[in-house]
Amino acid sequence: MSTHATLPLRIGSFSPAAPVVLAPMAGVTNRAFRAMCRSYGPDLVYVNEMVMSHAVVYGNAKTDKMMEFGSDESPRSLQIYGSDPEVLGAAVHRVCDEGRVDHVDLNFGCPAAKVMRKGGGAAVPAKPRLLRAIVRAAVRAAEPYGVPVTAKCRMGLWDDLRTDVTTGRICADEGVAWIAMHARTVEQHYSGEARWDAIGELKDAVDGIPVLGNGDIWEASDAVEMMRRTGCDGVVIGRGCLGRPWLFGDLVAVLTGGEAPPSRSLGDVAEAMRRHAGLLTEHFADFGGEDHAMRDFRKHTGWYLSGYPVGSEVRRRLAMVSTLAELDDVLGALDPSLSIVEGGERIKRGHTNGPVKVALPDGYLDCDGIDAAGSFVVPDDAGVMALSGG
């Protein structure tokens, strides 16, 4: 456990009810999902799904839709990714200048090949000078508006190319409000166990800003144990809340000295599913309507029902549901008194794949991303190399 004192989390004048942050997850943490989570755990930090800096700058319609916040949502937290300091700074300037956000989070942890092969996400920390330039551009763009900037990273590309400590120190130097780390490498992807000890090492190495831990928090007790073992200042919740938006209420309870509620009955789960689907329908009312909303909701149905003995036919029907009325029919036939099976809360949801080969632009590791004149070096998209740290 780290011997450093725990630091409080703050977003401007906002202090969360507990040191808990929703991890931005592509295709998941939209306005509707965040509203579900906030209904169980208000006054926490809920980060919108990540958006690409170029798409923000050029006003992409789909990206603008992704950046929507509820009228009662505060703070409004948005994650942005990119590999060009100038463009990323311009994106931060735009969302701040238009009054869209109260908080910007920088993505230096995404392991997806489509992001990595462009030199974005978790590829950026492998170039410390480029990383510093991006962080500096974001902080300077947000500073006039009083908008704090935070960052999220992974341990590194693979075990022999760790970047977490350097990333944390650069972020602290450049004025970010906190650094969060998913305790896996890119190569590990989502396989195996998160290596919480690395979170403690990062906490020991970084002074002056809070360090948050992310990875394998499936129940509220896991957050308590992570903070006890690592000394981290807070937790970031990703896959653990898929199909379990009430986890945030449980976290507030245990992190403020109380006890987590018992597992929810299937009736509680069905009520949450119907409410979530309704919120998605409202969110997509002008962007594909009910049909789009229900297609988006299908992936959530398996997560909600993980651990509940409902049978394969119910799962099949929900995975193909196309209207709210059809969803009501399926949910109405369930036994609301059913309980989750023993150990069901810990069934892994979301991504579980890995290890993977690390996809990077050709020659990516041969230079540091900034030329002798201090200009950004554009990654070569002509070729992609797949590397393994083994």
Residues acting as catalytic residues: 110
Q: State whether residue 11 is helix, strand or coil.
A: strand
Would strands 77-81 and 103-108 be described as parallel, antiparallel, or unpaired?
parallel
Distance CA 311, CA 323 (A): 21
Q: If residue 314 lies in a helix (H) or strand (E), which one and from where to where?
A: helix 312-318
| Other C-beta atoms lying within 10 Å of the C-beta of residue 186 | 33
Backbone torsions φ then ψ of 287, nearest 5 degrees: -145, 60
| Distance, first Cα to last Cα, the chain | 29
CA 181 vs CA 3, 172, 199, 233: distances in Å: 18, 14, 7, 12
Is residue 69 a contact partner of residue 313, using CB atoms and an 8 Å limit?
no
Distance CA 112, CA 27 (A): 13
Cβ-proximal residues to 300 (8 Å cutoff; 6+ apart), any chain: 242, 243, 273, 276
Distance CA 246, CA 272 (A): 9
Backbone torsions φ then ψ of 112, nearest 5 degrees: -65, 135
Minimal CA–CA distance to 358: which of 161, 134, 131? 161
